[in-house]
Amino acid sequence: MTTTVTVDLPGRPYDVVVGSGAVTALASMLPASSRRIALVTQDGIPCDIATGLPTEVIAIGQGETVKTMTTVEALAERFAAMGLTRGDVVVAVGGGMVTDLAGFAASTWHRGVTVVHVATSLLAMVDAAIGGKTGVNLASGKNLVGTFWQPAGVICDLDALATLPARELRSGNGEMAKYHFLTGDDLTVLDLEARVARCVEIKAAAVVADERESGSRALLNYGHTLAHALEIATHHEFTHGEAVAVGLVFAARLAAATGRIDEARVEEHRRVVVDEYGLDDRLPDGLDPDELVALMARDKKAIDGLTFVLDGPGGLDVVRGISPDAVRATLAGMRRR
Ligand SMILES: NC(=O)c1ccc[n+]([C@@H]2O[C@H](COP(=O)([O-])OP(=O)(O)OC[C@H]3O[C@@H](n4cnc5c(N)ncnc54)[C@H](O)[C@@H]3O)[C@@H](O)[C@H]2O)c1
Ligand SMILES: [Zn+2]
């Protein structure tokens, strides 16, 4: 049994199929015009996929340091060598790094070739593979170069999670905790298939409402302003989801400091992040608060000064013009590891 969630974008809806054995739906997502497949993945990712078409497997390296334009260029050279045409298809099999990179490469190859994502990490299933944001890092920041390129379909085969390291599974929980505060849903009462499908639904609704992030889609960045700064300041010692966990509790404390929520709501954040999702909400010792503030001000979502998604009486909101002093004071009050 699988669950299908449709990302109902006007004129180009696509399905996200969630469940054990969902990968059998892949063939139905390939365009009729495709004669061959460029399958982008990484070593260590389960990839026994019957595509039914000649398939070139291209393995990229590991870690955010290879999520770069150089890797995109190497992918494009492989596409050229195999003669990938605009009618063919790129299939990304992996976590968010693979889907972001392969999605970007697909969006620029011959000015755009179809991509299908087979998400194999929990984080990619509930977040990264859905919604069409692709991107690569620059030395100056994460995901600074990217495109919007919606996939033709997404597979979230829960069987793939059997080989996912425990730390990476927990990392996916960081994004799930985010969805808890976006909607107020208690996802922990659902079984895994229902929980992943519900996250996909929440993400899909945000994407359909505001595909290009000119407004409400920015709420998906809850917890992410500090998270991105932490990832850079610690040279990716944190996984993305681990950084989001700290970022969510930080954002709650900042919202309390600016009078938007009360202490009970801050405690609710800590309870969900730490007790329910098993994540660590503590800030590492030894980080320079001024460096974190500088990184947060540079975050591409910062339009004028420091901008955060903050909780409030009416739910989450994008709040601009937060003073660096309030940010520093809130950082100083965070628990340390
Ligand atoms: N485009 C978006 O909307 C969006 C949203 C959130 C995050 N992201 C991006 O996603 C990336 C993080 O994604 P991630 O957390 O999946 O990390 P990741 O892609 O780096 O994967 C983490 C590790 O798990 C391994 N792995 C993945 N699936 C596996 C499996 N089934 N079995 C064994 N090993 C497996 C990978 O090889 C890697 O070593 C970041 O680059 C982030 O910027 C993008
Ligand atoms: Zn994220």
Domain ranges of the chain: 3-164, 216-332
Cβ of 164 less than 6 Å from ligand 1: yes
180 alpha carbon, distance to own chain's centre: 15
Ligand 1 atom with the shortest distance to the CA of 135: 1
* Residue 128 confidence class, pLDDT cut points 50, 70, 90: very high
Q: What is the mean pLDDT of the chain?
A: 95
Q: Is 216-332 in CATH node 1.20.1090.10?
A: yes
Residue 19 pLDDT level (bands cut at 50, 70, 90): very high
pLDDT score of 59 more than 80 = yes
> Which ligand sits nearest to residue 65's alpha carbon?
1
Distance 110 CA to ligand 1 centre (A): 26
Distance 26 CA to ligand 1 centre (A): 20
Instruction: List the one residue out of 47, 148, 62 whose CA is nearest residue 93.
Output: 47
Q: Given a cut of 80, is residue 123 above it in pLDDT?
A: yes
Report which protein residue has its CA nearest ligand 1's atom 5.
128
150 close to ligand 1 (CB < 6 Angstrom): no
pLDDT level of residue 254 (50, 70, 90 thresholds): very high
Q: pLDDT grade, residue 335 (50/70/90)?
A: very high
| pLDDT beyond 90 at 223 | yes
76 pLDDT above the threshold of 60: yes
Rounded to the nearest whole angstrom, what is the distance from the C-alpha of residue 323 to the centroid of ligand 1?
Answer: 33
Residue 299 pLDDT exceeds 80 = no
Q: Which ligand is nearest to the CA of 232?
A: 1
What is the rounded average pLDDT of the residues 174-180?
97
Q: Which amino acid makes up residue 151?
A: P
Å from CA of 240 to ligand 1 middle: 8
If you search the block for the tokens 């972001």, which residue do you land on?
100
Is 44 close to ligand 1, i.e. is its CB under 6 Å away? Answer: yes
Q: Is 92 exposed, middle or buried (0-12, 13-18, 19+ CB in 10 A)?
A: buried
Confidence category of residue 305, pLDDT binned at 50, 70, 90 = low
Taking residue 292's Cβ as centre, other Cβ atoms within 10 Å add up to 21
241 Cα–ligand 1 center, Å: 10
Asked whether the beta carbons of 254 and 223 are under 8 A apart, the reply is no
pLDDT value at residue 48: 79
Is it true that domain 3-164 has CATH number 3.30.300.30? no
Residue 53 in tokens:
């078409």
What is the reported pLDDT for 50?
85
111-115, 155-159, 214-218, 246-250: range with lowest mean pLDDT = 214-218
Looking at the annotation, which residues are catalytic? Answer: 111, 133, 175, 203, 213, 217, 221, 224, 228, 240
Does position 16 have pLDDT exceeding 70, yes or no? Answer: yes
Sign of the Cα pseudo-torsion (264, 265, 269, 271, in order): positive
Query: What is the spatial distance between Cα 183 and Cα 206, in angstroms, rounded to a whole number?
Result: 11
301 pLDDT above the threshold of 60: no
**Helical H runs in the chain?**
26-29, 69-82, 96-108, 122-123, 166-183, 192-209, 224-233, 240-257, 263-270, 289-298, 324-332
Among positive and negative, which fits the CA dihedral 250, 251, 252, 258? positive
Q: Is 100 in the pocket of ligand 1 (CB under 6 A)?
A: yes
Q: Output b/e per residue, 156-184; b: 16+ Cβ within 10 A.
A: bbbebbeebeeebebbbbbbbbbbbbbbe
Q: What is the DSSP letter of 128?
A: I
- Are the C-beta atoms of 37 and 54 separated by less than 8 Å? yes
pLDDT at 271: 97
Percent of the chain whose predicted confidence (pLDDT) is above 70: 98
Q: Is the CB of 94 within 6 Å of ligand 1?
A: yes
In whole angstroms, give the CA distance from residue 99 to residue 277. Answer: 24
pTM of the model: 0.96
